[in-house]
Structure 1
Amino acid sequence: MLHAEFHDPRLVTVYDAECPWSREDDFFLSVVNETPGSQVLDLGCGTGRLTLGIAAASHAVTGVDPARASLDAARAKPGAGRVVWVEGTSSGLPDTSFGVAVMTSHVAQFFVEDDEWARTLADLSRSLLPGGRLVFDTRDPLDRRWERWNPVDSGRQITLPDGAVVTAWTEVTAVRDGTVSFTHHYTFPDHYTFPDGEELLSTATLRFRSEADIRSSLHNAGFRIEHIYGGWNREPAGAGDGELLVIARA
């Protein structure tokens, strides 16, 4: 299944267990907190980890995601009543409503086609107040992160809330024209009996845009870039963690 870790409730639970609060969330929350009491949009909010953290920091926040299973998990968490949850995409965003918009967990890379990415940026520009900030992360293609997505380097064990341990690894299936296709493999313990077997798969294709491409696309959408960092401690691009951490203004 495409992006099954967001759409299959069995794998949503695994995703939540594998992805607790981290320094990445600290980075995004610190940027949001630079605009106190703002109306915040979390586009591609998933299971709501950062969304709920933003709400707990006294911001009014709207979480938008197309994956119902992920939103169901988000809505069941403590504090979820503080958030406006919306099942949808950027096309349904209201005009001039948010002081800050965030896209985290490399959501920007899910927009594979250039026209889809351009439409998303245009929607975000439309939804932000004048001078509102857009903050997102995308992997720097110069870091060639996908070369570590193999059975040895990507192998991991994930402990679920019930104590069961899921074994996971990632397999790259194609690299072409700035895109990387891959499959996540998840093997559940024997006592999990699924009609489709003990191993569940999630497929995806991500776009790795260069810093120059990011700058050009933001300029075309009417954004002014404030910073592009290379790491979660705000190192310059090309240093740090192999990321492109973007802060721009509408």
Structure 2
Amino acid sequence: MRHGEFRHRRLVQVYDAECPWGPDDDFFRAVVDETPAARVLDLGCGTGRLTIALAADGHTVTGVDPAGASIAAARAKPGAERVTWIEGTSALLPGRAFDVAVLTSHVAQFFVDDAEWTRTLVDLRRALVPGGRLAFDARDPADRRWERWNPVDSQRRITLPDGGEVRAWTRVTGVRDGVVDFIHHYRFADGEELLSSATLRFRTEAELRDSLTAAGFTVDHIHGGWHREPVGHGEFVVLAHTESG
């Protein structure tokens, strides 16, 4: 199935267990907290790990995601009642409604087609107030992360909240012009096996800068990691803003 971690009830539980709070969440939380009592958009919010934390910090938060199973899992978590949840895409966003927008967990890479990425950035610019801030992450293609997505190096065991264990591994099926196709394999203790396929776009720093500028953003910084390292540490952590006035 396509994007099973976000759309299949059982795999959503695995995703939650495999992706706990990390330094990326700390970074985005700190960025949002620079704007007190902000109106925050979390686009591609998934199961709401960061979304709910931002609401608990006193921000007015809207979580948007096209995957109904992920939104359902988010709504079931403690503190979810503080968040406005929307199942859908950036096309549904109201104009000038947010002070800060975040796209985390490499959501930006799921916009494989350049036209789709451009539409999303234009929607985000429209949804942000003048001077509004955008923060997102993407993997640096120079790191060639996909070369480690193979059945040997990617082997992992994931413990679920009920104590059950899932074996998982990843296999790349195609690489072309910055686009990587891959399949996640999941084997559950009861014998069920599920596959989830996906495609990611690895844009260069220049491509990210050009796309943001074309969509009406000014790039403030592109860091190379969650501790604001220089580019060259495997990540692009992007901070930008819309023009004021």
TM-score band, normalised by shorter chain: over 0.9
Q: How far is 1:178 from its partner?
A: 0.9
User: Residues 10-54 of structure 1, C-alpha deviation per residue, up to 9 Å, x if partnerless?
Assistant: 000000011111111001001000111100000000000000111
Percent same amino acid at aligned positions?
Answer: 69
Runs of 4+ in 1 over 2 A off after TM superposition: none
Q: Where in structure 2 are the equivalents of 1:32-43 lying within 5 Å?
A: 32-43=32-43
User: Residues 228-250 of structure 1, C-alpha deviation per residue, up to 9 Å, x if partnerless?
Assistant: 00011100112x3x000000001
Corresponding position: 1:228 with 2:222? yes
Match among 192, 205, 211 for residue 211 of structure 1:
205
Q: Where in structure 2 are the equivalents of 1:1-250 lying within 5 Å?
A: 1-190=1-190, 198-238=192-232, 240=233, 242-250=234-242
Q: How far is 1:158 from its partner?
A: 0.4
CA distance, structure 2, for counterparts of residue 95 and residue 101 of structure 1:
13
User: Residues 114-158 of structure 1, C-alpha deviation per residue, up to 9 Å, x if partnerless?
Assistant: 000000000000000000000000000000000000111111100
CA distance, structure 2, for counterparts of residue 11 and residue 86 of structure 1:
21
Q: How far is 1:176 from its partner?
A: 0.5
CA distance, structure 1, for counterparts of residue 7 and residue 195 of structure 2:
12
User: Residues 88-111 of structure 1, C-alpha deviation per residue, up to 9 Å, x if partnerless?
Assistant: 100010000100000001000000
CA distance, structure 1, for counterparts of residue 198 and residue 227 of structure 2:
28
CA distance, structure 2, for counterparts of residue 177 and residue 228 of structure 1:
22
Residue 195 (structure 1) aligns with: none
CA distance, structure 1, for counterparts of residue 225 and residue 19 of structure 2:
18
Structure 2 residue identity aligned to 1:205: T
What SS does the aligned partner of 1:6 have? helix
CA distance, structure 2, for counterparts of residue 75 and residue 92 of structure 1:
19
User: Residues 163-206 of structure 1, C-alpha deviation per residue, up to 9 Å, x if partnerless?
Assistant: 0000000000000011000000000013x6xxxxx110000000
What SS does the aligned partner of 2:126 have? helix
Structure 1 residue identity aligned to 2:128: L
Structure 2 residue identity aligned to 1:27: F
CA distance, structure 1, for counterparts of residue 225 and residue 80 of structure 2:
30
TM-score using structure 1 length: 0.96
What SS does the aligned partner of 2:181 have? strand
Gaps of 5+ in 1: 193-197
What SS does the aligned partner of 1:77 have? coil
Structure 2 residue identity aligned to 1:28: F
TM-score using structure 2 length: 0.98
CA distance, structure 2, for counterparts of residue 147 and residue 211 of structure 1:
20
Structure 2 residue identity aligned to 1:244: F
